[in-house]
Each structure stands twice: as C-alpha cells, then as structure tokens.
Amino acid sequence: MTLALDLDVRSQFPQLVAHPDVAYLDSAATAQKPQAVLDAVVAYLSSENANAARGTYPWANRTTARIAQTRDQVRRFLDDASPATSGVHFVSGTTEGLRSVALDWLPTVLSDGDEIIVPFADHSANLVPWLDAAEMLRRQGTRVVVRPTPYDEAHDYDVGRLPVGPRTRLIAATHVHHVYGNDMNVHRLRAAAGPEVAICLDAAQSFGHLPLSVRELDVDFVVFSGHKAMALPGVGAVWARNRRGPAFTPGGWNGTPNTAGIVSLAAAMDWLSSVGLSRISSSIVALGARLTAGLATMPSYEVLGCQDSLAAGSPVQRRHGIVTFRHREIDSNDLGFILAADGLLVRADGHCQGTQGEKTSSVRVSFQVYNTAEEVDRLLATLSALES
C-alpha cells in the first residue's frame, strides 16, 4: 500500500484529520468513523427519522425498508449462501449478541447431560454468557457439561484435541483473538465438530477487518459490533444460519430498534466494501508485521501470543492488526500513559480476557486501514528510547 493511498483513507476520518499529531492505535477497542458514516447518520436523522414498522406514512416505511435492506447487506457482507433461510438480528453489540445466543437460543436446544465447548482464554464476553446459561439450566434441573476449548502454544485452538463427543451441542469460538491478534483456526472447526454441532463465532475483531465468509467458515452464528467496524456504538448483529435463531428483541417489532445505528452500520459496510476488505486486511497485517519485527529487535519487550507465526508465514496464523506486548520493567499502564503523552494512543490493561487469560496487564496496539507505517515507526522510536 502506498503512502498516497494511506493519506487518502486517513483524510476521510475527521477526528484523525483534526489531530494530525495523534497516532490512534486502539481500533480493537473502537474504530474511528469515516465522514461517509457520519453524513449518513446526520442525513437520516435530519430528513427521514421515524420509528420502524409503524407504517402509515413514508418516513416510517422508509425506515422499515432500510432495516430490511441492512439485514440483506449483512448477509451479503458475510457471504451468506442461503439468505432466504438465515436471520439477522440487530443487537447493541457483540456482548449483547453473544448473551442472546447463550441465554435465548442455547437453552432451547439443550437436554440434560448435553455438552458445550467454550473458550476460557478468549474475551470474557464469549465466556461468561455460556457459563451463565449452563448455571441457569443447572438451577432448573438440566445438567450441562462445560468443556474448555484446548489451545496450542501459538494460542490457536488446538483443533486436534477438541473434546467433541456425541452429546456436544455447541462450540463457542472467536475468529480473531483480541489480545494475540491471530486467526483462531476457526476454518478447521467444522471438520472437527461434525455437521450437527452448532458453532457460534465471536467476530468482534474480524468483522470489517478481513473478508468473512460464513460459506467458507461453515458456522451457525456470527456475532459482531458495529463500532469496531466504523459504525456507531450501540449497534451490532447476530447472523444466524437458521431463521429460528434467538428471539432477540422481546416482542419483536414492538421494540424500537436503534435506527440511526443501523443506518450507520449500512454506511460503514458500504465504506468498507468500497475500500475493499482484502486491502484492509493486508494493510493491517503488514502494520502488525512491521511492529512485531521492530519489537523483536528490542530485548526490553516481550510480545505475547503467536511468536513464530510471521516467520512461518502461515496465512491462518497471521496477526490481524493486533500486537500485544510488555516492557520487562515498566508497568504496562505506566507505559500506556508514557505513550499517550507522545500522542501514541494504545490500550493498556488486562483486556477483559477470560479466566485462562494473561495474568498481568499488557499494552495492546491495534490497527485499522487509516493507520500508517510512519505511525508504527514513530511508536517503535518511542519504545526504543525506553529500552533499559
């Protein structure tokens, strides 16, 4: 990717344009918004705002139609081969979406003695709801066996050791890990799981970052947040292979949907498609590789996660724009403040990992297509100056 293209993309993000000295390196927390998304929301709210499904006048009908169109757009965006039978349910984000699958849908398919496989070292939003569902069912007299997903040394799922048995009903998985940045071998889960086991994918860090095909991944649920993919906060979706997915909004159309959020999601998907998800993916992978290579030359830093993945060049083990590390002596939160003072905005803490996650805090750098190689070099220069 050339510098000219970088600048062209960056110029579409008003917050970045307004702060030319800031390197925003925290897109895994939330992405900046392109002007096209902001314009779409303002246009909607200043010319067509109405509630959906109240159908006696054009604004309401247009809003209802927009929501249906955005559902179809999500299906296309996810390369859904069976749009006539799949469901798209708008939720507030990944956390709510995963809870809905766990608490609204899962109990309807589990019987006493059934098993679920859940990832204890992934984001807690993809762990706690499954444990809560199992506990709720246990109190109602239905025993659910919760099996932890095994990981290998590179922090991928160890698919060969997946504890699938005749009573397994669900595997909860994460597409791209929010701390290590690696693709979690999700494309290998279906073969290991067999055709009957439901696979629910947390796509919080992959939706809008790389081409995501439910046809290729062969999963049953995909859950994502709009705000990490350049839409507004407060909107996300659950794609369910089968329309009979969870009954998300109590009362269905009787609840008011996040119309402006849904409009923003449609505009964000348009924008992402116009840039191209392959281009976005290769750009953030390259930035991650540049940072990892730079850190590898500095003995004061320890990079977490898949150490050998870049050297191995395996396409499935690449870091998708997320690199997490620690300084061997400087506390990670202190390091976060030091970097922020230099205009380098990163995330520093324990990153909401599940109970098998990292035990001490770390610094996470995460990229989107508006980031540049110059920003990585600037970060590396500051980190280098902190070497002990």
Q: Does 205 bind ligand PMP (CB under 6 A)?
A: yes
**Binding mask 164-203 vs ligand PMP (x if CB under 6 A, - otherwise)?**
----------x---x-----------------------x-
Q: Per CB under 6 A, does 100 bind ligand PMP? A: no
25 vs 383 by CB, closer to ligand PMP:
25
**Contact flags string 209-248 toward ligand PMP, x per CB under 6 A:** ----------------x-----------------------
Shorter beta-carbon distance to ligand PMP: residue 115 or 202: 202
Q: Does position 323 bind ligand PMP by CB under 6 A?
A: no
Of 12, 126, 324, 372, which one interacts with ligand PMP (CB under 6 A)?
A: 126
| Binding-site size, ligand PMP (CB under 6 A) | 13
63 lies in the binding site for ligand PMP (CB under 6 A): no
Segment lying near ligand PMP (by CB under 6 A), choices 18-26, 90-98, 146-154, 367-375: 90-98
Q: Note whether 371 binds ligand PMP by CB under 6 A.
A: no
One of 10, 123, 318, 347 touching ligand PMP (CB under 6 A): 123
- Using the rule CB under 6 A, is 372 a contact of ligand PMP? no
3-class SS string, the chain: CCHHHHHHHHCCCHHHHHCCCCEECECCCCCCCCHHHHHHHHHHHHHCCCCCCCCCCHHHHHHHHHHHHHHHHHHHHCCCCCCCCCEEEEECCHHHHHHHHHHHHHHHHCCCCCEEEECCCCEHHHCHHHHHHHHHHHHCCCCCEEEECCECCCCCECHHHCCCCCCEEEEEEECECCCCCEECCHHHHHHHHCCCCEEEEECCCCCCCCCCCHHHHCCCEEEEECHHHCCCCCCEEEEECCCCCCCCCCCHHHCCCCHHHHHHHHHHHHHHHHHCHHHHHHHHHHHHHHHHHHHHCCCCEEECCCCCHHHHCCCCCCECCEEEEEECCCCHHHHHHHHHHCCEECEEECCCECCCCCCCCEEEEECCCCCCHHHHHHHHHHHHHCCC
Decide if residue 33 touches ligand PMP (CB under 6 A). Answer: no
Q: Does 93 bind ligand PMP (CB under 6 A)?
A: yes
Piece of the chain touching ligand PMP by CB under 6 A; list 56-64, 121-129, 252-260, 311-319: 121-129
Smallest gap from Cβ 159 to ligand PMP, in A, equals 19
| CA gap 375, 382 in Å, rounded | 11
- Determine how β-strand 115-118 pairs with β-strand 362-366: unpaired
Closer to ligand PMP by Cβ: residue 260 or 383: 260
Task: Say which amino acid occupies 229.
Answer: A
- Output the smallest distance, CB 81 to ligand PMP, in A: 25
Question: Quick one: how far is CA 65 from the chain centroid?
Answer: 27
Interface with ligand PMP (CB under 6 A), residue from 9, 52, 101, 125: 125
* Contacting range for ligand PMP; rule: CB under 6 A; set: 89-97, 106-114, 187-195, 356-364: 89-97
Minimum distance from CB of 124 to ligand PMP (Å)? Answer: 8
For binding to ligand PMP (CB under 6 A), which residues are involved?
Answer: 93-95, 123, 125-126, 174, 178, 202, 204-205, 225, 352
